[in-house]
Chains A and B, each alone.
Chain A
Amino acid sequence: MAEAIKNRYEFVLLFDVENGNPNGDPDAGNMPRIDAETGLGLVTDVCLKRKIRNYVDIARGGNEGYDIYVREGAVLNVQHKKAYEHYELKPESKKLPKNEADAKKVTDFMCHHFYDIRSFGAVMTTEVNCGQVRGPVQINFARSMDPIIQQEITITRMAVTSEKDAEKKDREMGRKHIVPYGLYRAEGFVSANLAQKTGFTTDDLELLWEALINMFDHDRSAARGKMAARKLVIFEHETALGNAPAHKLFELVTVAKKDLTRPARAYSDYEVTVNAAAVPAGVKLTEK
């Protein structure tokens, strides 16, 4: 198996939404999430991780080592059996000693098979110390650049749900919540040290970048509208520990609205600047 990554990374992902709901709030009747104090839109970390998982499942589904542990919907390929036969671990004795080596085997097995466990970690503790892994990839809540407008659109359906309803009416009304436009910024971290522990390789890292860029293209639905990844800025440190504080690197990516007098409705209404000249020594900047 390929080696785990040896460098620390940070990344900034800019993505936008047009006439859609990027992430509904279950507490607010599925309206787009909003920071109540600033009016900025939010997209949770778990929402983005779900899309990464879905993308990896589409792009690498069925390949050994790229299974997805936390699944949504139906499994297309249950190929586990094949994977076990290929796996070179000796069968364990029937009684399970609760020692560290045993726990390590269990977690290694899961890391080896599941991409999302290698990347994000997982809890496998039905008993204490049976295995819990922290993955190298850490993502924060994404926030919009400007306050978003939550617009409610009432729609009609020319049919009714039950026969009883049919006696009274011949159509029903529904609601959709949309954000007319929002440019969101997510920031993330990849720890080389935790990558050693889960076996997160350079191939896995490339797949992560690929997923971040393409994940919205495979997540089309009536609710989402038009979502797209606009820019991915990657900071690669020369060392595993890193060469500069993360917040200083994040500050190098700035987004400004071109015309402050009218609301933004397109990506072209914003100017994204990556201050490549100010990148500290020992950090390599990549834009995708």
Chain B
Amino acid sequence: MGYGIRLLVWGNYACFTRPEMKVERVSYDVMTPSAARGILESLHWKPAIKWVVDSILVLNEIRFDNVRRNEVGGKIPAGNVKKAMKGNPMVLCQYASQDRQQRATLLLRNVAYVIEAHFEMTAEAGSQDTPEKHYAIITRRARQGQCFQQPYLGCREFPASFRLIEEGEPLPHSQLRGEQDLGWMLWDIDHGDGMNPLFFRASMKDGLIEVPRVQEGVTVK
């Protein structure tokens, strides 16, 4: 893959929430491919390209921590906003004290990953959108620390630091040894198909998780 990049990302905390444990969030053991895609997209993305995550290298030992926070339970009803726009007096604000939920988060701490990914051109690509151009943009931004928005590790309160691993530069060493089955993990959400979640069977060998391409028999809905 000629236009692949390797990005080192790290941070103090991370929470890649398991979809089955969302109320009191529990993180997956490792970063999901969809979270890795999100990080790449916060550096550079255009409708002309689509990021494909090839592998995720987990560098640090997997450790968890627990944080409980006061959160609000509800969301803004869109209908009320529309009524308000029509001029009906509505109370649009949310009272945190009346809609209080205390929720725990089982999060990861002290994480570092190497995301190996490439991009593919989509049908939206115009004549100006050459792969070379987009490759140049992403590598320049990753080198200079530029980003569209600061990337984060699962939730926005856990910012990610990032650095490009140059071509030919050796990969950092992973602390993990041996093979580990991580079970079924979220691969990504299919935005084109009614937000359908796709899963894959993840296994990690010496810290490396190979991310399969979507094809029949590999991912399940």
Contacts from A to B (Cβ < 8 Å): 25-27, 33, 35-37, 42, 44-46, 50, 67-73, 75, 78, 80-81, 84-85, 87, 89, 91-92, 96, 103, 105-106, 109-110, 113-114, 122-128, 130-131, 134, 136, 138-141, 143, 187, 189, 191, 193-194, 239, 241-248
In this complex, which of B102, B147, B158 has the most chain A Cβ atoms within 10 angstroms of its Cβ? B147
CB-based contact A89/B78 at 8 Å: no
B18: interface (CB < 8 Å): no
Beyond A91-B87, A138-B150, A243-B144, 15 additional pairs, beta carbon < 8 A: A26-B70, A37-B65, A37-B109, A46-B71, A78-B89, A80-B92, A84-B88, A84-B89, A91-B86, A109-B84, A113-B92, A128-B195, A138-B159, A242-B144, A242-B147
CB-based contact A246/B150 at 8 Å: yes
- Which of A44, A84, A131 interacts with B84 by CB under 8 Å? A84
CB-based contact B85/A89 at 8 Å: yes
- Which of A35, A130, A141 interacts with B157 by CB under 8 Å? A141
Contacts of B75 in A (CB 8 A): 123-126
Least CB distance from A286 to B in Å reads 19
| Docked complex Cα distance between A71 and B91 (Å) | 11
CB-based contact A109/B85 at 8 Å: yes
**Quick one: given A141-B12, A189-B159, are A70 and B86 in contact (CB under 8 Å)?**
no
- Which of A25, A72, A239 interacts with B68 by CB under 8 Å? A25
The 7 closest A-B pairs by CB, nearest first: A245-B145, A130-B78, A191-B149, A45-B157, A247-B161, A241-B146, A189-B150
B182: interface (CB < 8 Å): no
CB-based contact B93/A140 at 8 Å: no
| Docked complex Cα distance between A105 and B75 (Å) | 18
CB-based contact B85/A80 at 8 Å: no
Contacts of B70 in A (CB 8 A): 26, 46
CB-based contact B84/A80 at 8 Å: yes
Within 8 A of A (CB), among B97-130: 97, 102, 104, 109
Q: How many residues of B contact A (CB 8 A)?
A: 51
| Docked complex Cα distance between A139 and B157 (Å) | 6
Within 8 A of A (CB), among B167-213: 195
CB-based contact B102/A91 at 8 Å: no
| Docked complex Cα distance between A208 and B186 (Å) | 37
Contacts from B to A (Cβ < 8 Å): 12-13, 65-72, 75-79, 81-82, 84-97, 102, 104, 109, 141, 144-150, 152, 156-159, 161-163, 195
Closest to A237 in B: B146
Contacts of A247 in B (CB 8 A): 145, 161
- Which of A46, A75, A92 interacts with B82 by CB under 8 Å? A92
Contacts of B102 in A (CB 8 A): 26
CB-based contact A126/B161 at 8 Å: no
Can you show 18 pairs from A to B with CB atoms below 8 A apart? A26-B68, A27-B66, A46-B157, A72-B97, A75-B91, A80-B91, A91-B87, A106-B81, A109-B81, A109-B85, A110-B81, A136-B149, A138-B157, A141-B157, A187-B159, A193-B149, A243-B145, A245-B161
Least CB distance from A44 to B in Å reads 6
Contacts of B72 in A (CB 8 A): 70
CB-based contact B146/A124 at 8 Å: no
**Quick one: given A134-B149, A247-B161, are A91 and B156 in contact (CB under 8 Å)?**
no
Closest to B42 in A: A191
- Which of B69, B93, B150, B156 interacts with A68 by CB under 8 Å? B93
CB-based contact B144/A244 at 8 Å: yes
CB-based contact A193/B144 at 8 Å: no
Contacts of B149 in A (CB 8 A): 134, 136, 138, 189, 191, 193-194
**Quick one: given A78-B91, A124-B75, are A46 and B147 in contact (CB under 8 Å)?**
no
| Docked complex Cα distance between A190 and B50 (Å) | 26
